[in-house]
Amino acid sequence: MPDSADDPESLLIFKEGDRLVRNALEHLPPRQRMLVNLKYYEGLSYAEISQAMGTTIKAVERLLACARRTLIKLLSEMGI
């Protein structure tokens, strides 16, 4: 997030980008959405995520790669 010294336009652009990413996350399949939340918003490691989701670390890596590809596609479709 921009610091308080940044101008209002930068803050607005950041907030709009954050809103669009969160909107794209809502379109992910539930397991992918949960994985992205655990990794990027909760800060869990692959090992912690695999334990929480009852799967292997390799499966977490594959699912995260798939989630990233899906997010890139969704954001591209939104013009980002």
CATH number at residue 66: 1.10.10.10
Counting beta carbons within 10 angstroms of the beta carbon of residue 55, is it exposed (0 to 12), middle (13 to 18) or buried (19 or more)?
Answer: middle
**73 falls within a domain:** yes
Q: How far is Cα 14 from Cα 1, in angstroms, rounded to an integer? A: 7
Alpha helices, DSSP H, located in 1-80? 8-26, 30-36, 46-53, 57-77
- Structural domain harbouring 46: 29-80
59 near 50, Cβ under 8 Å? yes
**23 falls within a domain:** no
**16 falls within a domain:** no
Report residue 4's pLDDT band, with 50, 70 and 90 as the boundaries: low
Q: Residue for token digits 């479709």?
A: 77
Q: Looking at the chain, which runs of residues are DSSP E strands?
A: none
> pLDDT tens for residues 24-61?
788 889 999 999 999 989 999 999 999 999 999 999 99
